[in-house]
Amino acid sequence: MKTRFVLIETSHAGNVGACARALRVMGFDDMVLVAPRWANVLRREETIQRASGALDVLARTRIVATLEEALDGISHVCATAMTARDFGPPCRPPREHLAALAGQTPHPVGVAFLFGSERFGMRNEDVYKAHVCLQIPTAPDFGSLNLGAAVQLLAYEWRLALGGFASPVTPASSDADAPADAASVAGMLKHWEEALVALGFLDPQAPKKLMPRLQQLFNRAAPTPQEIHILRGIAKCMSQAAQASNGHKR
């Protein structure tokens, strides 16, 4: 689905760069600037610095004079604003609205997200053009998100609504990380119990609740087979040290 981010009358060049990076990292690349403060904003040092490598997005970015020119090929327009406007579109939280939008049949031809200027937000006339006004939930007494941060949040929500990216393969999710079975844990605990008795830490005549406590601890930890192996190795060493020390005493 065509996705466009439209920044209206942006003042800070750094924010334009930050928005390019925010789009890029979520796999989007279509940005349009409507009447930015700096005509040369795409070539300013601050822009390029904050884009941090998302130069392909900057290279594709168009600058236009009016919002109308920014909306070619777009069938669903999402304004972003902290405050609802009388006679404006309905206000919705981004997550709910974007999930519904991504599931719509037929898909919208193109979706645009509009962001107003840093100082004044969106004009009423621009909000009126939108089908919905997305309100990012914020603290009641501090609702002012940075422009780049707002673009990042919506790009993220929209990407997840569209199905997200495949998770990178991580060694932590391999089979070796599956927990060992209960029998292995029980065998390891038996081994520890013997070692702790040998060490004189556990008195078999008055065991109190040491072993059930250790059982619960290891149940929560859900050790892998390899960790069971390590824990048995420790038990073995404890037993050997206890024997050696008993030999000395004799």
| Interface ranges with a second copy (CB under 8 A) | 18, 21-22, 24-27, 50, 52-54, 82-84, 86, 88-91, 93, 95, 133, 135-140, 142-146, 148-149, 152-153, 156, 159-160, 164-168, 170-173, 177
Beta carbon of residue 140, minimum distance to a second copy (angstroms, whole number):
6
Beta carbon of residue 183, minimum distance to a second copy (angstroms, whole number):
24
Beta carbon of residue 18, minimum distance to a second copy (angstroms, whole number):
6
Beta carbon of residue 174, minimum distance to a second copy (angstroms, whole number):
10
Complex with a second copy: residue 177 or 193, whichever CB lies closer: 177
Complex with a second copy: residue 173 or 243, whichever CB lies closer: 173
Complex with a second copy: residue 133 or 198, whichever CB lies closer: 133
Pairing mode, if any, of strands 110-115 and 2-8?
parallel
Retrieve residue 208's tokens: 């109190």
Residue written as tokens 């065998």?
Answer: 187
Complex with a second copy: residue 87 or 208, whichever CB lies closer: 87
